């Protein structure tokens, strides 16, 4: 593998929403995007197995010289605090989306915030514990079916509309909604149509801003173009189709890699 500046990782294609923001804010980067769809979905994986899976993957790439990692998945990001010592030993820079989501909400004046996320994210209370205060009420809402629909390319359908209406109903009185899954920006316009009075908060741009400010990865040559290598442990055609449908990203070449799979 050729040296890369940055690895962006997710179970599926949701992390492309973060990848897009990185490309908007930074130039000349060599990026590796890795989709781990060949393994069990991170939201369903046993916590210890999830921790070991992330450690295995990051170690795999760091052994090839990579030092900077974006875990563009909320479910996976819940495991990062327990891995900080391991990353520090290897002098790795690893950022998840949860810290950036918390920072984003705290930067706003909203007093009633809905957290829209997958089962693991919501049940971990990783947002509510850090955001609930005397001036801010936080309501978590599990929206697990959304990511599966988006991965399958079913973004506009009667089933998607019905699912969104059911999920969003308890959040109708919120001032703002945090998109606590990187898949959800793909249907943000539909969410906004159902809750037109709510401000949608997407941490993806916050992640990109943090990287630009703290990691100093941009090329010194203004003429150098960014390049991306797309890898997956799953199906390459499914990855291409989902990326195009959800985020308008045309992946011309994706490679399947053989990595040790976590037992299901």
Nearest to 47 by CA among 123, 100, 141, 98: 123
Q: How far apart are the C-alpha atoms of 249 and 136, rounded to whole Å?
A: 37
Choosing from 100, 126, 181, 198, which is the catalytic residue?
A: 181
Per the annotation, the verdict on 73 as an active-site residue is yes
C-alpha dihedral, 103 to 179 to 193 to 114, nearest 10° = -70
Are 147 and 183 within 8 A, CB to CB? yes
CA distance 114 to 139: 5
CB-based burial label for 207 (10 Å; 0-12, 13-18, 19+): buried
Return d(Cα 50, Cα 11) in angstroms, integer: 11
Residue 158 CA: distances (Å) to CA of 150, 161, 190, 242: 14, 5, 12, 19
Cα 229 to its chain centre, rounded Å, is: 18
Q: Is residue 174 among the annotated active site residues?
A: no
* C-alpha–C-alpha distance, residues 78 and 167, integer Å: 22
As to burial, measured by CB atoms within 10 angstroms (0-12 exposed, 13-18 middle, 19+ buried), residue 197 is: exposed
DSSP classification of residue 82: G
Q: Among the options 73, 126, 174, 198, which is catalytic?
A: 73
**Element housing 186 (H / E):** none
Catalytically active residues, by annotation: 73, 181
């Amino acid at each position: 593998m050729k040296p890369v500046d940055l690895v962006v990782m997710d179970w599926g294609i949701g992390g492309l929403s973060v990848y897009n923001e990185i490309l908007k804010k930074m130039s000349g980067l060599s990026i590796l995007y890795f989709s781990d769809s060949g393994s069990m979905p991170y939201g369903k994986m046993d916590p210890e197995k999830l921790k070991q899976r992330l450690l295995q993957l990051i170690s795999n790439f760091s052994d090839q010289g990579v030092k900077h990692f974006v875990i563009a998945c909320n479910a996976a990001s819940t495991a990062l605090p327990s891995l900080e010592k391991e990353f520090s030993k290897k002098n790795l820079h690893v950022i998840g989306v949860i810290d950036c989501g918390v920072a984003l909400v705290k930067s706003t004046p909203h007093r009633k915030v809905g957290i829209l996320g997958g089962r693991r994210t919501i049940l971990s209370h990783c947002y509510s514990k850090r955001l609930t205060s005397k001036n801010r009420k936080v309501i978590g809402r599990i929206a697990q079916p959304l990511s599966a629909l988006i991965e399958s390319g079913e973004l506009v359908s009667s089933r998607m509309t019905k699912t969104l209406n059911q999920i969003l109903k308890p959040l109708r009185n919120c001032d703002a909604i945090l998109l606590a899954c990187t898949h959800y920006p793909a249907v943000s316009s539909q969410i906004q149509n159902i809750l037109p009075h709510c401000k949608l908060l997407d941490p993806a741009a916050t992640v990109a801003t943090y990287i630009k400010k703290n990691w100093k990865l941009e090329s010194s040559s203004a003429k150098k173009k960014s390049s991306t290598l797309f890898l997956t442990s799953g199906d390459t055609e499914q990855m291409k189709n989902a990326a195009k449908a959800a985020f308008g990203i045309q992946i011309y070449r994706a490679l399947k890699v053989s990595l040790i799979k976590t037992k299901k």
